[in-house]
Amino acid sequence: MATQKLLCNLSLIFLLFFHFHYGTCELQLNYYSQTCPNAEEIVKEQVISLYHKHGNTAVSWLRTLFHDCMVQSCDASLLLESINGIQSEKISTRNMGMRNFKYINTIKDALESSCPMTVSCADILALSARDGAVMLGGPRVEMKTGRKDSKVSHLAEIDASLPNHNDSMMYVLARFQSVGIDVEGTVALLGAHSVGRVHCLNIVDRLYPTVDPTMDPNYAKYLMGRCPHPNPDPTVVEYARSDRESPMILDNMYYKNLMKNKGLLTVDQELLSNPITSPYVEKMAADNAYFHEQFSKALLILSENNPITGDDGEVRTDCRFVNRD
Ligand code: HEM
């Protein structure tokens, strides 16, 4: 860490001397090159091994990064449990259905045994999302590291930060814009819904008492088969897939489905009905490489939202708890 700091300070002096933009002694490529040279390799190995045991872990890492970074900062605040005055972000209704948190501890344990107290949980979230995307056939994103972990939960800020499944597209675009992601990037990031599942609770409003008239009738039939109750029991795991053809592949099938009015959430289908976003839906439906390119750019911006760096925050030893002094 001392070497890291020295390098950091030297580069700041250099930047100041040459009147470069100051203040980027923050995230860096290979931040752990001196302190834990295998850090990124260890995360990758763990992500791959977890994927082979539970494929849906890779899906989770994408959603987890979004729900952590969109609320204040990419600072792993989402991982904190309710204890010692902390109220966990996990109890928010916006975080309903999130899964596989326990496997983040598996990744953290592997890092702790090679490099104790060195690699932050916030960096684990970023790198695991990056490597998870690759396991799902998505693009590989070159990510910087050096994020620190927060000592507080941001539970109170969640509702105002994370868009809801039935929010208007204008609101959604404004939220993403506030973290530096433009319209094209927002359309691309929602392509993450090409993988994974949605619980019936988040779908029934489009099915009962009457089916949303914008929905393809055959798709509605499938959804009503998956979600037969207008008031689903939240304790029962009832869900549907957005992309039935390739639910474990991060591809442009999501956009092709939107074009056929087979969007799962209101927010998904709105991407096509809104004239500001629809041209990008059409482009992404037609070109998977373009989707991947835009997805990479936007995921990178998301992963760098307002990180805690330098001497602020801490590197938690257990991602679920703030360190004891
Ligand atoms: C307007 C923005 C968004 C809204 C309103 C939204 C909402 C939702 C909802 C309601 C679910 C279903 C949860 C459940 O019932 O289990 C979901 C699932 C998911 N979301 Fe989003 N989401 C948004 C953007 C994103 C972004 C930007 C990403 C990642 C880059 C993402 C990744 C995922 C993934 C991977 C799943 C499936 C999770 C699983 O199967 O465990 N979402 N989202």
- Give me the CATH number covering residue 41: 1.10.520.10
58 found inside a domain:
yes
Same domain for 187 and 284, yes or no, is: yes
Query: pLDDT 10s per residue in the chain (325 long)?
Result: 444 444 445 554 444 444 333 333 589 999 999 999 999 999 999 999 999 999 999 999 999 999 999 999 999 999 999 999 999 999 999 999 999 999 999 999 999 999 999 999 999 999 999 999 999 999 999 999 999 999 999 999 999 999 999 999 999 999 999 999 999 999 999 999 999 999 999 999 999 999 999 999 999 999 999 999 999 987 888 999 988 889 999 999 999 999 999 999 999 999 999 999 999 999 999 999 999 999 999 999 999 999 999 999 999 999 999 999 7
Predicted pLDDT at 311:
95
Same domain for 205 and 154, yes or no, is: no
95 found inside a domain:
yes
Same domain for 270 and 212, yes or no, is: yes
Domain final residue, candidates 158, 182, 201:
158
314 found inside a domain:
no
Burial code of 66-94, b = ≥16 C-beta within 10 A, e = fewer? Answer: bbbbbbbbbbbbbbbbeeeebbbbbebeb
Same domain for 204 and 250, yes or no, is: yes
* φ, ψ of residue 268 in degrees (nearest 5): -65, -55
Same domain for 196 and 149, yes or no, is: no
How many A from CA of 193 to the centre of ligand 1?
6
Q: Which of 122, 102, 103, 121 lies closest to 47, judged by CA? A: 103
Q: Which of 164, 256, 257, 324 lies closest to 240, judged by CA? A: 257
CATH of the domain at 243: 1.10.420.10
The structural domain count of the chain equals: 2
Same domain for 7 and 151, yes or no, is: yes
CB of 163 sitting under 6 A from ligand 1:
yes
CB of 202 sitting under 6 A from ligand 1:
yes
Residue 52's domain comprises 2-158
Same domain for 139 and 270, yes or no, is: no
Same domain for 191 and 243, yes or no, is: yes
pTM summary value? 0.93
Count Cβ atoms below 10 Å from residue 320 Cβ, excluding itself: 19
Pocket test for ligand 1, best of 50, 51, 63 (most atoms within 8 A of CB): 63
Predicted pLDDT at 18:
40
Predicted pLDDT at 19:
35
317 found inside a domain:
no
202 found inside a domain:
yes
Predicted pLDDT at 31:
98
Domain final residue, candidates 109, 134, 158:
158
Same domain for 49 and 134, yes or no, is: yes
Question: From atom 38 of ligand 1, which residue's Cα is the shortest distance away?
Answer: 196
Same domain for 223 and 112, yes or no, is: no
Same domain for 52 and 141, yes or no, is: yes
Question: From atom 11 of ligand 1, which residue's Cα is the shortest distance away?
Answer: 198
Same domain for 48 and 86, yes or no, is: yes
